[in-house]
Amino acid sequence: LTGFSFQGGSTYYACIKSVDESGLSAVASTPFQVDVTGPLPIGTVNDGPDAGIDVSCQASHTIRANFRPFGEDYTDVFKLEWAVGTTVGGFDLQSWVNIDLIQVTDQGYYVVSTFVENISAGTAVYASVRATNSVGLSTVVTSNGVFITCGATDGSCESCAVSDQFMCLG
At residue 72, the pLDDT reads 85
Radius of gyration in angstroms for the set of CA atoms belonging to the chain, rounded to a whole number: 23
Q: What is the pLDDT of residues 104-162, one digit of tens each?
A: 777 888 889 999 988 888 899 999 999 999 889 999 999 999 999 876 666 555 444 44
The CA–CA distances, whole Å, from 84 to 30, 87, 125 equal 44, 9, 7
Beta carbons of 51 and 99 less than 8 angstroms apart: no
Closest alpha carbon to 18 in 28, 7, 8: 28
How far from each other are the two terminal CA atoms of the chain, in whole angstroms? 67
